[in-house]
Amino acid sequence: MNFSSRHHARVLTALEIVRDRPTSYRSAIRSIAMFTVTKCNEYGARFAIEHYAFDRETKRSDILDGIARSIPNEAALICKAQPAALCEWRMAMHAGMAFSPSDLQLIRRQRSDLAILPLECPEAALDETAAFHLIPRAGPGSSTMTKARRAADEAQVLWLTFLTTCCRPNDRISLGSAYQAWLAIENARPLPF
């Protein structure tokens, strides 16, 4: 994680992308979740979640176009940094295929107004944040379906980890408190069925 203390953006979206295999030219996006935090005033915020699932035939470009359209204007976007896929790059080059750009690079091409912050975030930090806030995560070795079901939770955990490790204390306190209040209301809602 980056440990520099910064102000939280006025609008920030945490993006979770679930693939059926590790990122490569053969993997497919199966689910995405976006958790958007909008600071309303010095002590308040609005929270919104978008969570979608896709079949294997859905085009990556269509999914990324939808993500780019859904993120508010001039927002900051946080997402887990993709590990360097040197092995995948070598395989693609050996097969005579061009190595495709990352999801974040393709979103950047469409949305130059976004401040994109790819976060190098150890799983232990995400586990600790999830445990502290009692948010369930898909564990190591979980199925793609389990990861897809937990994508919205994962986006929240990513944002909370960013908030607690990268943001200034006043943002941690005010936005953390607003999130706890929002989460209590969300958890009190009846199930839709």
Higher pLDDT, 6 or 86: 6
Q: Tokens 């295999």 appear where?
A: 21
Under the banding of pLDDT at 50, 70 and 90, the label for residue 96 is low
**pLDDT tens readout for residues 9-64:** 999 999 999 998 776 557 789 999 999 999 987 668 999 999 999 998 999 999 99
Q: How confident is the model at residue 2 (pLDDT cuts 50, 70, 90)?
A: very low
Distance separating alpha carbons of residues 87 and 158, to the nearest angstrom? 27
Phi-psi region of 75 (alpha: psi -120 to 50; beta: other; left: phi over 0): beta
Residue 128's pLDDT band, with cuts at 50, 70 and 90, is very high
The pair phi, psi for residue 97, each rounded to 5°, is: -100, 145
Return the pLDDT at 105: 87
Rounded Cα distance between 41 and 18, Å, is: 33
Place of tokens 């502290």: 132
